[in-house]
């Protein structure tokens, strides 16, 4: 199978991680893969080019006629059997670039909020892959045809967590805290994600300001436009010496395995692939009920595998974090979380389910 992936994002986020992993694994399994990416984007630096995986770029964010012409030329040369459109601007770019070629198109939908321009999905997407049932419900409410929607959960490299030495992980976390002159010998909270408003990091800081009499330090991983505002908020709340912001790190699995509590305060979330990583790591989880997060932490069968609170509720978040700090074993079924991550949210399953949607279009 020949598959072309289109991404217009300049930044590096969860959607880009999933896309690169999907394309890489398809390439490893013998499919021919083309990545069409912005020349100014970070994704192009992560694409593993080789015999069955190539990269072509276009200028800007795909909005200009030059971008469309460059993308169209790349598609004509590659002759894909399926085009995969990874973000909203990519739907327009890839849709216009492939007009008249008769190529089936798949659009990914990751955000859990109403679609602003549903028309382009109806015009350019033969299938829409939604990362959760909640995202699929929002797509239906936005007017997209239900028969085109398919739910494919994001994945994680869940098997690698079994290979991580917990003592080494704890040492790595302690070294990071020490390097930033954080408090020593206290429980470590960790959150990770793009530093944007919708991730709810400001709510987490407000929650932690209610726990100043407790022993903890927070590692806040990620980059984004809210970085300076969050640092200022932490200082204003008197938390500057207990909130560490080391930016983006590529050793998240190691850090997760050495962390005491993973907190995910998102206000809007399609699914939450970082929560899948925390599940695979077997770390106690406190998260909100935003978007598709309950599909991870509140499975249909059995009790919840972490504590969930309403999005934006700092008081409830503080209470849940405090409860886990007091008695983590009573509030987190980490063994079952690891099992669910392996069974339902592996990269292998994500690739297989996505390939099944592609095969459906080609049948």
Which has the minimum average pLDDT: 75-84, 126-135, 291-300, 306-315? 291-300
Instruction: Give the model confidence (pLDDT) of 280-297 as tens digits.
Output: 999 999 999 999 999 999
CB 178 within 8 A of CB 217: no
pLDDT of residue 62: 85
Instruction: Give the model confidence (pLDDT) of 26-38 as tens digits.
Output: 999 999 999 999 9
- For the whole model, what pTM was predicted? 0.91
**Tally of CB atoms within 10 A around 210:** 16
Burial status of residue 329 (CB atoms within 10 A of its CB: 0-12, 13-18, 19 or more)? exposed
Q: Is the pLDDT of residue 332 over 80?
A: no
- 316-319 CB contacts, 8 Å cutoff, 24+ apart: 317/203, 317/204, 317/207, 317/263, 317/265, 317/286, 317/288, 318/207, 318/208, 318/210, 318/211
pLDDT of residue 304: 87
Q: Which domains does the chain possess? A: 2-155+346-362 (3.40.50.2000), 158-344 (3.40.50.2000)
Q: Is the pLDDT of residue 44 over 90?
A: no
pLDDT of residue 156: 92
Question: How much is the average pLDDT of 186-207?
Answer: 96
CB 236 within 8 A of CB 177: no
pLDDT of residue 309: 97
**Percent with pLDDT over 70 in the chain:** 100
H helices, E strands: number in the chain: 15, 13
CB 34 within 8 A of CB 54: yes
| Residue 333 pLDDT class (50, 70, 90 cuts) | confident
Q: Can you tell me the distance from the alpha carbon of 145 to that of 157, in angstroms, rounded to the nearest whole number?
A: 32
Q: Can you tell me the distance from the alpha carbon of 99 to that of 122, in angstroms, rounded to the nearest whole number?
A: 14
Q: Which residues contact 323 (CB under 8 A, 6 or more apart)?
A: 307, 331
């Amino acid at each position: 199978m020949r598959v072309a992936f289109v991404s217009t994002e300049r930044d590096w986020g969860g959607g880009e991680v999933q896309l690169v992993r999907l394309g890489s694994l398809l390439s490893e399994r013998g499919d021919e893969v083309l990545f069409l990416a912005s020349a100014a984007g970070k994704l192009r630096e992560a694409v593993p080019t080789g015999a069955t995986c190539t990269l072509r770029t276009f200028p800007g964010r795909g909005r200009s006629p030059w971008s469309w012409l460059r993308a169209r030329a790349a598609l004509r040369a590659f002759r894909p059997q399926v085009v995969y459109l990874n973000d909203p601007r990519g739907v327009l770019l890839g849709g216009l670039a492939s007009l008249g070629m008769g190529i089936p198109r798949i659009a990914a939908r990751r955000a859990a909020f109403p679609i602003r321009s549903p028309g382009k999905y109806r015009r350019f997407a033969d299938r829409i892959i939604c990362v959760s049932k909640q995202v699929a419900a929002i797509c239906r409410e936005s007017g997209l045809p239900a028969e085109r929607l398919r739910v494919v959960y994001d994945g994680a490299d869940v098997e690698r967590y079994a290979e991580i030495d917990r003592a080494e992980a704890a040492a790595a976390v302690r070294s990071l805290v020490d390097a930033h002159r954080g408090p020593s010998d206290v429980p470590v909270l960790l959150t990770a994600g793009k530093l944007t408003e919708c991730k709810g990091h400001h709510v987490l800081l407000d929650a932690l300001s209610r726990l100043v009499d407790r022993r903890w330090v927070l590692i806040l991983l990620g980059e984004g436009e809210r970085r300076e505002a969050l640092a200022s908020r932490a200082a204003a709340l008197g938390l500057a010496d207990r909130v560490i912001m080391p930016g983006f790190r590529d050793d998240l699995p190691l850090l997760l395995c050495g962390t005491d509590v993973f907190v995910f305060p998102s206000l809007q979330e399609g699914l939450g692939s970082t929560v899948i990583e925390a599940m695979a790591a077997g770390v106690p989880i406190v998260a909100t009920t935003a978007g598709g997060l309950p599909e991870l932490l509140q499975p249909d069968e059995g009790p919840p595998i972490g504590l969930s609170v309403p999005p934006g509720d700092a008081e409830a978040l503080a209470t849940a974090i405090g409860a886990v700090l007091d008695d983590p074993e009573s509030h987190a079924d980490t063994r079952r979380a690891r099992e669910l991550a392996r069974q339902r949210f592996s990269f292998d399953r994500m690739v297989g389910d996505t390939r099944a949607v592609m095969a459906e279009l080609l049948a």
